[in-house]
Amino acid sequence: MGEFHLVHWLVVLSVLAMMSVVWGYPLAVLCRRTGKSRTIGWLAGTLGMFFGGPMFCVWWLAFSNWKEAPPKS
């Protein structure tokens, strides 16, 4: 095993930051469409990423009542 240099830390942290956006934004949009707070989706996508948060959030949203899309005028 080698040393864990600063470059390795930067790569790992940047991947985690990208993954939080990849998971957080779509979950926030889904939460908003079901009438829930966007914060729940962002928390599931960022902090909950390490504990299966995105999968739990999608499972929870599956039981939500979806609002119909507003008519375009």
Domains: count for the chain: 1
Q: Is residue 3 part of a domain?
A: no
Q: How many CB atoms lie within 10 A of CB 45?
A: 22
Q: Is residue 37 part of a domain?
A: yes
pLDDT value of position 34: 86
For residues 53 and 43, the answer to whether their CB atoms sit within 8 Å is yes
Tokens of 15: 């991947």
Reported as a single tens digit per residue, the pLDDT across 10-50 is: 887 787 778 788 888 888 888 888 888 888 888 888 877 77
Q: Determine whether 28 is exposed, middle or buried from the number of CB atoms within 10 Å of its CB (0-12, 13-18, 19+).
A: buried
Give this prediction's pTM: 0.58
Q: Is residue 10 part of a domain?
A: no
Q: Is residue 1 part of a domain?
A: no
Reported as a single tens digit per residue, the pLDDT across 52-73 is: 766 776 776 677 666 666 777 7
Q: Is residue 33 part of a domain?
A: yes
Residue 56 lies in domain: 20-62
Tokens of 59: 């499972």
pLDDT value of position 1: 45
Place of tokens 């985690």: 16
Q: Is residue 11 part of a domain?
A: no
Q: Is residue 46 part of a domain?
A: yes
For residues 28 and 45, the answer to whether their CB atoms sit within 8 Å is yes
